Structure 1
Amino acid sequence: MGQDQDTRSDRIATGISPEIADKITATAHRLADVARQETLRWFRSPDLHPQNKAQAGFDPVTDADRASERAMRAILDAERPEDAILGEEFGARAGQSGLTWVLDPIDGTRAFMAGAPSWGVLIGVTDDRGPIYGIVDQPHLGERFEGGFGRAVLTGRDGTTPLRARRGVDLSEATLMSTYPEVGSAHEHAAFRRVADRARLTRYGLDCYAYALLAAGHVDLVIEAGLQSYDVVAPIAVVQAAGGVITDWTGGDAHHGGRIIAAGSPELHAQALELLAG
């Protein structure tokens, strides 16, 4: 079967017609384009003044977060009014189509504040079974990771290349990533350390970009805790489209957030999952 036929068959398997899939994809890229424009206006700007939206601790939000999500929602209001929306900054909007757009206008606001290019814009689409399509976009680097409807590609300054998660890697040879060294509670940190102590290399701090690098075959494991739906829906779609595995720490569905483990192969996923379980 040729590549075009494979793509069409994959789209049909999701329960979405090829025509609707094409429309969803086109809209998602328009969202990513406008989010690039809005976020780059503020990135490394002296006029960026973060606010803390947490009752306790520090959970930053900026004008860039809000501008990015407003711009994406405006496109969805015009092009996909029957679809639901779940966004980090402006919450949920009900829909009638059975599809939900899950938006994180800046995943990695702390990195954004620090001028580091490891943040990204997350655009995911779910149906009643979970994620069916996603984009992880890094505006400053000009990289767009896309997965779903038969597509698993990175589009960047050097053109478009396939995304393929790395296979055949034992945990002793694996590169493991997480955003925060403490990885949640003391119990969650202890579980993470059981995996990290067996991995060849452990690095921190890339937020959603770590999942993109896993889909591209550069990272082997990502383990995190305390995530929300808008943090994971788009990465799930991209990682799965690239042939990776992503679940919660019990091996169940991950798209509601919480404790997340992504791996380049089922074998590596099983190794890490066993250690997380203790």
Structure 2
Amino acid sequence: MTETVLNKALAVAEACADAARRTVIPHFRTSLQADAKSDDSPVTVADRAAEKVMRTILEDALPDHAILGEESGMSGHASDWLWVLDPIDGTRAFLTGRPTFGTLISLFHQGRPVLGLIDQPLTGERWIGVAGQETRFVSDRLPGEIGTRLCPELKEAELSCTSPEIMTPAHTPRFTNLQKHVRRTSWGGDCYAYGLLALGQIDVIAECTMNPWDWGALVPVIEGAGGSITDWQGQPLSLESDGTVLACGNPALLPEIVSHLSHL
């Protein structure tokens, strides 16, 4: 992995985010129709158009890199470099007029996410993570400073999850057990919640049924802000992970959280 490749990749990722913003914003709070995908999750013309414009930028700038997008699958030749895209993470929020969705752009090198970008088009907030570097938060309207909150005890922690419905029957009792040991649970947020964790506003996020396009961009952002992000067993996330994701602002609390998630 070379610094030159990452520097170019970062510029390309930001160009993709800018283009996705321009594509998505005109569709927000309009009478947009959604189609149901095979997993019953919604997809709109805005999702498809935003992914298409990002793919075009990537194919022109980095033709030797492969691309995996939520809406159009895999393209390109086999490569150590893989872009993973989620044009609108939180389509339900987008459809219901809530500005808590985001565009997720990540670059994997040999199966490990080394660059991640969370972009909220409407608020103008952007989190940029690069492996080995401190995460950057860019916003000209809303306050925020990068740095996870080192919550000293789990009983004081703010826990977050997008929705109870994302939990499988096997995971629900484990999540419920974790809830008993935190201060309170907040619902909603999709990728935006992970950005808030990187700003020290949320302490723990536990979710499941996550795909690589859901979590790829989050890894460099959370780690570069001082937190940890693993599966529910505390293992690093990979393309072969089981779909569970656990983000923690204070990595010292990880063993205790994993223990609670391991018991019914």
Equivalent in the alignment of 2:193: 210
Deviation by residue 1:217-243 (Cα, 9 ceiling, x = unmatched):
110000001010100000111101111
Shift of 1:97: 4.5
Equivalent in the alignment of 2:53: 71
Check the 8 A contact 2:113/2:217 in 1, yes or no.
Answer: yes
Check the 8 A contact 2:115/2:220 in 1, yes or no.
Answer: yes
Counterpart amino acid of residue 260 in structure 1: V
Question: Is 2:225 the counterpart of 1:242?
Answer: yes
Pick from 46, 51, 61 the counterpart of residue 35 of structure 2.
51
Counterpart amino acid of residue 144 in structure 1: R
Check the 8 A contact 2:230/2:237 in 1, yes or no.
Answer: yes
Distance 1:115 1:141, change over 3 A: same
Pick from 211, 219, 226 the counterpart of residue 209 of structure 2.
226
Check the 8 A contact 2:151/2:203 in 1, yes or no.
Answer: no
Shift of 1:158: 4.1
Check the 8 A contact 1:183/1:189 in 2, yes or no.
Answer: no
Shift of 1:159: 8.2
Check the 8 A contact 1:232/1:255 in 2, yes or no.
Answer: no
Pick from 174, 184, 195 the counterpart of residue 157 of structure 2.
174
Equivalent in the alignment of 1:38: 23
Pick from 58, 69, 82 the counterpart of residue 87 of structure 1.
69
Equivalent in the alignment of 1:10: none
Equivalent in the alignment of 2:104: 122
Over the matched positions of the two proteins, sequence identity in percent amounts to 38
Shift of 1:20: 2.0
Greater Cα shift, 225-234 or 176-185: 176-185
Check the 8 A contact 1:236/1:255 in 2, yes or no.
Answer: no
Which 4+ residue blocks in structure 1 deviate beyond 6 angstroms?
Answer: none
Check the 8 A contact 1:178/1:222 in 2, yes or no.
Answer: yes
Give TM-score, length-normalised by structure 1.
0.89
Give TM-score, length-normalised by structure 2.
0.94
Equivalent in the alignment of 1:16: 2
Check the 8 A contact 2:126/2:138 in 1, yes or no.
Answer: yes
1:258-269 alignment, distance < 5 Å? 258-269=243-254
- In structure 2, the residue corresponding to 1:125 is in which secondary structure? strand
Check the 8 A contact 1:143/1:155 in 2, yes or no.
Answer: yes
* Structure 1 gap segments, 5+ residues each: 1-14
Check the 8 A contact 1:82/1:95 in 2, yes or no.
Answer: yes
* Structure 2 gap segments, 5+ residues each: none
- In structure 2, the residue corresponding to 1:186 is in which secondary structure? coil
* Number of residue equivalences: 260
CA distance in 2 between counterparts of 1:88 and 1:263 reads 25
Check the 8 A contact 2:123/2:142 in 1, yes or no.
Answer: no
Shift of 1:170: 1.2
Check the 8 A contact 1:153/1:161 in 2, yes or no.
Answer: no
Shift of 1:54: 2.4
Root-mean-square deviation over aligned CA pairs: 1.6
